[in-house]
Amino acid sequence: MEEAIESSLKEWQKIEPPEEFVKKANMNDPDIYDMAEKDYERFWEGIAENIDWYSKWKSVLEWEPPHARWFIEGKLNASYNCLDRHIDSRGDKTAIIWEGEKGDIRKYTYRQLLDATSRFANSLKDMGVKKGDIVTIYLPMIPEAVIAMLACARIGAPHSVVFAGFSADALAQRIENSRSKFLITCDGYLRRGKEIPHKKRADEGVSRVDTVDKVIVVRHTGSDVPMSKQRDVWWHEVMDSASTGCDPEIMDSEDMLFLMYTSGTTGKPKGVVHTTGGYMVGTHITTNWVFDIKEDDIYWCTADVGWITGHSYIVYGPLSNGATILIYEGAPDYPERDRFWDIVERHKVTIFYTAPTAIRAFMRWGEDIPAKHDLSTLRLLGTVGEPINPRAWLWYYENIGNKRCPVVDTWWQTETGMIMITPLPGITPLKPGSATRPFPGIKAKVLDDEGNEVSQGHGGYLALTRPWPSMIRTVYKNEQRFIDTYWSKWDIDTYMSEDGARRDEDSYFWILGRVDDVIKVAGHRLGTMEIESTLVSHPEVAEAAVVGKKDEVKGEVIVAYVTLAERISESDNLMSDLVDHVADEIGPIARPAHIFFTDELPKTRSGKIMRRILKSIADGEDVGDITTLQNPEIVEELKRKVDESG
């Protein structure tokens, strides 16, 4: 088997873009790279013409590292670019096809989406939301999530979308940091046929903060939920009484469009600030060139709107291109494991963008499942979120794309806002497992600790050495963290991605994964420190260390090593209590797959926990040098525990 794959990999060393595809591709001129390289500011200036501005910028870029300002004094509105500007030519075109887990379908044309957005924008205003107020959105995958985001953008109120799978506590933490006064949520939603009591979680979250005055509740499942008299209002009621038509607020290019909390090395998630002009320019063009969006495409990105992928490649990128997007509420294996392919077939999806973890799950379920469906409408496939192993890439290419569809492996981050390293499907020969090369105008390098470029084939840190329009502007209310995290490893103008990478003989990039304490579980970004502090907040836990263990499907799973307070015996109950505790405090995605109790954690003489060693133990790998530990004997003991657990 392995051999067959090896030879197959050789055979597929480079996959040239299909001729037919190249001919029609939105971008098929290989000179675009050189052109952008000659003068990247001029390049981005030309690209910015694809966005509608109330007034144009006075200059393209002000770069005072690490602060960049793009399209200075340009005025625009993001929701105008996603809606109003399409009305003349695409008013009756479908903007959103939504499918519920039960199979119910709702559609919005561009005109209907504009109408709903305007009404909701007016409702927000009626409620007292002003330009600059941060609105928290805590909604599952329903059209109202998109409408709420666009309505916020319309009135200049930055949104902070919190992933619906996060717990009350995680919600509270994000509301607290942003001091947000408004929350949009819903009664409940379906996950594998079961209703998740979302309003209850939202209420718990709100009760832990003192900022929220108003909660708007979407009636989605129709279940009975308690409504707080002064505070809560129904979405449909405010919509009914809202006036139609809402002039978009004229926003400065550098006004904040949204905040997106993401995990990093230290305990608390950080609020990544994105602004309007550069973000719209970057997401618009990457959607157009990387996904090759055309007028009649049905585009489906399976990410959740609660993550950056949902922001950039469900909402702002595709809608600013006037695309038809598909949104699915539920799980990929409900009611059966062919749900995704059934959706592709029924809605005639042409472009499909998902995460490697999903592909690996499909692979495990077997190729017979997609083979039962007509997937011939597909013409382009994409992946994002974690490194894709060549085997999974090939499986995707062969079994979903039938060797006809280019696969774009897109590397980027919450902080980059837009896709940074990616093939352009009409130009770039593909190599399974490689994100290939930087998007035109983007400069990426692989550096060593001293900031020197490492030679071909060797691993180093992935760095971005030139500003780009949709780059993170700061960490909300924590400028120091912004500088320390991203701009302090080398010179102040060089962005540290916290990913490892290497380049091959064609200068293609191969992303090796995170080099910090962030783990990616099924594509979701989690900080080990967040999980550790949650474990330690349990009364019976004294100390905890969390690492990512390699996993064939999820990429990584969470392994926790825990020392207990006093000598409480490690009952089975305690193990499941701790797992539940983490799920309650952060969300089910943060659930540890294994917990090992130990009397001690391996520490250096200065008392620092050696996570590197704990990771090697979890992965069953050689632990390397342990002579600097104050308690080297603990290593053997932990290895034995991990081995015994199978």
Site for ligand WTA in 478-497 (CB under 6 A): 497
Question: Angle 168-178/198-207 helices, nearest 10 degrees?
Answer: 50
CB of 25 to ligand WTA, least distance (A): 20
> With binding defined as CB under 6 A, does residue 500 bind ligand WTA?
no
Q: What are 562's strand-pairing partners?
A: 544, 597
Q: Is 411 in the site for ligand WTA (CB under 6 A)?
A: yes
User: Where do the H-state alpha helices sit in 487-571?
Assistant: 528-536
Least distance from ligand WTA to the Cβ atom of residue 162, Å: 14
Alpha helices of 101-197 — where are they, by DSSP H?
110-126, 143-155, 168-178
Q: What is the Cα–Cα distance from 553 to 544, expressed in whole angstroms?
A: 25
In the bound state with ligand WTA, the residue whose beta carbon lies nearer, of 136 and 436, is 436
What is the smallest separation between the CB atom of 68 and ligand WTA, expressed in angstroms? Answer: 19
CA distances (Å), origin 57, targets 53, 558, 594: 9, 47, 53
* 19-27, 147-155, 291-299, 511-519 -> range binding ligand WTA (CB under 6 A): 511-519
CB of 464 to ligand WTA, least distance (A): 12
Contact 109, 95 (CB under 8 A): yes
User: With CB under 6 A as the contact rule, which of the stretches 229-237, 242-250, 337-345, 411-419 interacts with ligand WTA?
Assistant: 411-419
Residue 639 CB, nearest distance to ligand WTA (Å)? 28
538 is in an annotated binding site: yes
Location of structure tokens 């007034």: 55
Find the part of the chain contacting ligand WTA (CB under 6 A) among 46-54, 320-328, 444-452, 509-517. 509-517
Which stretch of DSSP H or E encloses residue 346? helix 339-347
Q: State yes or no: residue 470 binds ligand WTA (CB under 6 A).
A: no
Q: Tell me whether residue 135 is annotated as binding.
A: no
- Candidate residues 413, 470, 474, 528; the one interacting with ligand WTA per rule CB under 6 A: 413
Q: Per-residue string for binding with ligand WTA, 275-314, x by CB under 6 A?
A: --------------------------------xxx-----
Q: Which is nearer to ligand WTA, 214 or 525 (CB)?
A: 525
Distance, in Å, from the CA atom of 534 to the CA atom of 211, rounded to the nearest integer, reads 23
Least Å distance between CB 4 and ligand WTA?
Answer: 25
**Does residue 410 bind ligand WTA (CB under 6 A)?**
yes
- With beta carbons less than 8 A apart as the criterion, state whether 424 and 477 touch: no
Q: Per rule CB under 6 A, is residue 262 in the interface with ligand WTA?
A: yes
499 binds ligand WTA (CB under 6 A): yes
CA dihedral 395, 338, 293, 152 (to 10 degrees): -120
Is 468 labeled as ligand-binding?
no
Residue with tokens 């030309």: 46
- Cβ neighbors of 335 (< 8 A, separation 6 or more) are 193
Where do the H-state alpha helices sit in 242-303?
277-290
Q: CA separation (Å) from 513 to 220, 241, 444, 499, 516?
A: 38, 50, 16, 5, 9
Residue 177, phi then psi, degrees to nearest 5 = -65, -35
Alpha helices by DSSP H, listed for 511-610, are 528-536, 572-585
Comparison of 235 and 352: residue with beta carbon closer to ligand WTA: 352
Dist CA 301 CA 642 (whole Å): 38
The length of the chain, given as a count of residues: 646
Question: Among all residues, whose Cβ is closest to ligand WTA?
Answer: 414
Per CB under 6 A, the segment of 67-75, 140-148, 157-165, 506-514 that binds ligand WTA is: 506-514
Q: Does 384 bind ligand WTA (CB under 6 A)?
A: yes
Query: Of 184-192, 410-418, 592-600, 617-625, which part binds ligand WTA (CB under 6 A)?
Result: 410-418
Kindly state the helix (H) or strand (E) to which residue 326 belongs, with its residue range: strand 324-328
Residues 577-636 that bind ligand WTA (CB under 6 A): none
Contact between 513 and ligand WTA per CB under 6 A: yes
412 interacts with ligand WTA by CB under 6 A: yes
Is residue 525 within the footprint of ligand WTA (CB under 6 A)? Answer: yes
If we measure between CA atoms, which residue out of 235, 208, 13, 26 comes closest to residue 145? Answer: 235
Q: Which residues are annotated as a binding site?
A: 191-194, 309, 385-387, 409-414, 499, 514, 525, 536, 538, 541
Site for ligand WTA, rule CB under 6 A: 262, 307-309, 384-387, 409-414, 435, 497, 499, 511, 513-514, 520, 525
